[in-house]
Amino acid sequence: MNGGMNVSMNGDLHERARSLIDKERVEGLAAPELRWLADHLGACEACAGRAAATDAALRALRTMPVSVPSGLATSAQLLVRRRAEELRVQHARNVALAVSCILSWVVGVASAPLVWRVCAWLGREFDLPRVVWVLGFGFWWLVPAAAASGVVLWYRSRAEREVS
Partner 1 sequence: MGAAIHLFAFAMEPETRAVARGLRRRDPELLDSLIAQYEHRLYRYLLYLSGSREMARDLFQETWLRVLARGHQYDGVTRFEAWLFSIARHLVIDLQRRKQMASLDEMLEPGEASRAWEPRAPDATSPLAQYAGRERGEMLQTALAGLLPVYREVLLLRFQEELSLEEIAGVIKAPLSTVKSRLYRGLNAARELLEARES
Of 57 and 145, which CB lies nearer to partner 1 in the complex structure? 57
Kindly indicate which of the ranges 32-40, 51-59, 132-140, 143-151 contains the residues binding partner 1, using the contact rule CB under 8 A.
Answer: 51-59
Q: Are 58 and 51 in contact (CB under 8 A)?
A: no
Closest by CA to 153, choosing from 92, 97, 96, is: 97
Q: Does 16 bind partner 1 (CB under 8 A)?
A: no
106 binds partner 1, rule: CB under 8 A: no
Residue 2 or 70: the one with the smaller Cβ distance to partner 1 is 70
Buried b (16+ CB within 10 A) or exposed e, 70-108: eeeeeeeeeeeeeeeeeeeeeeeeeeeeeeebeeeeeee
Which positions lie near partner 1, rule CB under 8 A?
Answer: 22, 25-27, 50, 53-54, 56-58, 60-70, 72-73, 75-77, 79-81, 83-84, 87-88, 163-164
